[in-house]
Amino acid sequence: MSQSIVILDQTRSVVATAVVKFHENHSTGEVDVDHIPVSLRQLFEEYERIVNNRIFSLLDQLEDQISRLSLSVVFEGGEEHPLCDVQPFLTARTLSFKI
């Protein structure tokens, strides 16, 4: 079952919306990349470049930067959780995360 979500930053501003499906220990889905703030878009694009080019020595540092953003997800019913293990792929318009 798919569900629409809203992703908030630490200031409680909406940074993205997505439609996700829930799996055993994570969620994946299609993210609307049109309104992602420039600074966050650049960080996510760098993440994707590092993963695609298999520069794994830089991945931990970038994942730490994303983690420090303190992103959270709000589900349709209003339930809110902090995001963990965020894996953004803006080119494919996909997002994976754990709560």
To the nearest whole percent, how much of the chain has pLDDT over 70? 100
Q: Which two three-digit tokens encode residue 96?
A: 């994976």
User: What pLDDT digit, counting tens, does each position of 44-89 carry?
Assistant: 999 999 999 999 999 999 999 999 999 999 999 999 999 999 999 9
C-alpha 10/C-alpha 70 separation (Å) is 5
User: b/e for 63-95, b at 16 or more Cβ within 10 A?
Assistant: eeebeebebbbbbeeeeeeebeebbbbbeeebb
Domain ranges of the chain: 2-98
**2-98, CATH topology level:** Thrombin, subunit H (2.40.10)
Q: Taking the complete model, does pTM exceed 0.85, yes or no?
A: yes
User: Mean pLDDT over residues 12-32, rounded?
Assistant: 94
Stated length of the chain: 99
